[in-house]
Amino acid sequence: MRALSRRGMLGLGAGAAAVSLAGCGGLTGSDDSGRADGSGGDSAQGGAKAKPKPAARPIGDGSTAYTGKQPHQPAEPEPLEPGQAPPQFVVFSWDGAGEVGNGLFPRFLDLAKEHGASMTFFLSGLYLLPESKKRLYNPPNNPRGASDIGYLTDDHVKATLKNVHRAWLEGHEIGTHFNGHFCGESHGSVKNWTPRQWRSEIDQAKAFVKEWRTNTGWTDLPSLPFDYDKELVGGRTPCLLGRDNLLPTARELGWRYDASSPGGLQVWPAKRQGIWDLPLQQIPFPGRGFEVLSMDYNMLANQSLATTKAPAHNYPGWRKQSAQAYIQGFKRAYETNRAPLFIGNHFEQWNGGIYMDAVEEAFKHIAREKEKGADVRLVSFRQFTDWLDAQKPEVLEKLRTLGVGQQPAGGWREFTGRAATPSGEASRNAA
């Protein structure tokens, strides 16, 4: 299926479970107080004064700058203790991450801040490139300056810069959704790109972030407060296509995860080609006999066959169905195998904005469970990867033996009470 194409389309997602698709604060940031749930923040303990922040050090043309350690990050992750249940991780992520005047980027930044959560924003590099400079983009197997998602207006580029700046200062991750979003079966599709062509696309995506000041000529906006060469450790491909040839390049670049795999299940992840494979997942679809991929586009595809302006009388039911899909996916994981839940969305207003309302409803439900004492962590992909890398390999291997909706035999105390050997047998020395 061909991706929907219009200005401001912020990076379409990929295939549905039943409908098979191949498609698709201020500029200075917030205060630096700690997160409400204690999962982040750099405030000093015991009443000691926090260390002063280092002065920003411009990088390159000053489009980005080194500003020290990112605020609002969780404490250093630790391995699970014997007999300890794993936390329930939930990652909300956003493809494209451009602000086009609809207020959706700041809406979800406000929501995350209210609940002490972190998210991942997969920024499309072209959203920082003015259309007047579009010929700077040389997409593989496509004409120079081509883009299936168009270009933002100058005002929207500025708004995107403002919100990306704020997002990082509030503890969120800035990943990549690459550039031109070429899908489908054509020669120019990302599906057909070689590892070398993926390297060109990544280099250009990074350059548009690192050189926006040169490309725009704007000198009155602050630098993005991070070193993108170090910040960028993962991404999601357009339409979830082309990952097989992306992975060798991602590994060469030192990326830590990829979120492009389609049709994943709610199970504990493994590495592929040395990189954590963190896919969108099949989750319950209330009232239907099949499951749906955990992304707004796939709700849309199964409800209105990818039509973004269906008759409005459908909206209340579809909104409820979409919210409950996320909520039931969360509940299934939390009450059974505790597999992480990965949710992907776009800053869109399809079908009257019902999918934005649905993901907000699901987010608030999950946040309330956390606030009532459930061991739930609303994190970015990078933060979750940090936790994975801190665990004992044999423990992760044992977690991966749990299927979708499968509870640990004997409960968590028994299941993780004895560290599994690589062969799956219990270690005699563990408690």
Q: Tell the burial category of 349 from Cβ atoms under 10 Å away from its Cβ (0-12, 13-18, 19+).
A: middle
Per-residue pLDDT of the chain (431 residues; tens, 9 = 90+): 333 433 333 334 334 445 434 334 222 233 333 343 334 443 333 344 556 667 899 999 999 999 999 999 999 999 999 999 999 999 999 999 999 999 999 999 999 999 999 999 999 999 999 999 999 999 999 999 999 999 999 999 999 999 999 999 999 999 999 999 999 999 999 999 999 999 999 999 999 999 999 999 999 999 999 999 999 999 999 999 999 999 999 999 999 999 999 889 999 999 999 999 999 999 999 999 999 999 999 999 999 998 999 999 999 999 999 999 999 999 999 999 999 999 999 999 999 999 999 999 999 999 999 999 999 999 999 999 999 999 999 999 999 999 999 999 999 999 998 654 444 443 333 32
The rounded distance, in Å, linking the Cα atoms of 364 and 323 is 10
Query: How much is the pLDDT for 40?
Result: 41
CA Rg, the chain, in Å? 21
Query: How much is the pLDDT for 18?
Result: 52
The rounded distance, in Å, linking the Cα atoms of 326 and 266 is 12
Tokens (6 digits) for 288: 């239907």
pTM > 0.95? no
Query: How much is the pLDDT for 49?
Result: 56
Q: What backbone phi and psi angles, to 5 degrees, belong to 401?
A: -80, -15
Query: How much is the pLDDT for 188?
Result: 97
User: Closest by alpha carbon to 95, among 234, 235, 224, 205?
Assistant: 235
What distance, in Å, lies between the first and last C-alpha atoms of the chain? 53
Strand ranges inside 353-400, DSSP E? 376-379
Query: How much is the pLDDT for 263?
Result: 83
- Residue ranges per structural domain of the chain: 79-415
The rounded distance, in Å, linking the Cα atoms of 356 and 293 is 16
User: Closest by alpha carbon to 225, among 155, 162, 177, 176?
Assistant: 162
Residue tagged 């920024």 (tokens):
123
What SS3 string covers the chain?
Answer: CCCCCCCCCCCCCCCCCCCCCCCCCCCCCCCCCCCCCCCCCCCCCCCCCCCCCCCCEEECCCCEEECCCCCCCCCCCCCCCCCCCCCEEEEEEEEECCCCCCCHHHHHHHHHHHCCCCCEEEECHHHHCCHHHHHHCCCCCCCCCCCCCCCCCHHHHHHHHHHHHHHHHCCCEEEECCCCCCCCCCCCCHHHCCHHHHHHHHHHHHHHHHCHHHHHCCCCCCCECCCHHHHCCCECCHHHCCHHHHHHHHHHCCCCEECCCCCECCCCCCEECCEEECCCEEEECCCCCCEEECEHHHHHHHHHCCCCCCCHHHHHHHHHHHHHHHHHHHHHHHCCCCCCEEEEEECCCHHHHHHHHHHHHHHHHHHHHHHCCCCEEEECHHHHHHHHHHCCHHHHHHHCCCCCCCCCCCHHHHHCCCCECCCCCECCCCC
User: Closest by alpha carbon to 23, among 125, 193, 121, 148?
Assistant: 148
CATH topology of domain 79-415: TIM Barrel (3.20.20)
User: Under a CB-based contact definition with an 8 Å cutoff, are residues 249 and 55 in contact?
Assistant: no
